[in-house]
Amino acid sequence: MHWRLGLAVVIVGVVGHPAARADEKEDPIIAFVKPRLKDASKPFTLMVGVKVKEGSADKFEAAFAKALQATRKEKGCLTYDLNRDTDDATRYQVYERWKSLADLEAHIKSDHIKALLKVLPEVTSGAPELRVLLPTSE
């Protein structure tokens, strides 16, 4: 993934989320996911690798915990988990499974995700690693 797109995904909260401004282009997360889907109406998994700054893990986890509970209640959210790497405590993997692209789009526009995106620039280091996975059994 291009570095600038990755950085935009993590720190977009600094200047305001693009989805909140009608005159802006498509959200960078949606722009990354959409071309990787065979059928936008079917389930998919989004994995986001994040590295946090030394000493920022607690603040990152606390901010994420607020978004986690609200996200799990969203229509279309099948799974939403934050996982810490066992070999490197500054590395995390977000595992998201959505019923459709439209559900992810609604998620990105939610207040709890906008709040999380505002905290990320303070606690993360470098660009995130995004991956889209498609189920083989559906």
pTM score of the predicted model: 0.80
Domains of the chain (ranges, CATH numbers): 3-133 (3.30.70.100)
Query: Can you tell me the distance from the alpha carbon of 126 to that of 119, in angstroms, rounded to the nearest whole number?
Result: 14
Q: Model confidence over 9-48: pLDDT tens digits?
A: 443 433 344 444 444 578 899 999 999 999 999 999 999 9
Q: In what order do the strands lie in the sheet with 77-84?
A: 77-84, 91-98, 44-51, 129-133
What are the C-alpha distances in Å from 94 to residues 47, 53, 103? Answer: 6, 17, 17
Q: Model confidence over 73-119: pLDDT tens digits?
A: 999 999 999 999 999 999 999 999 999 999 999 999 999 999 999 99
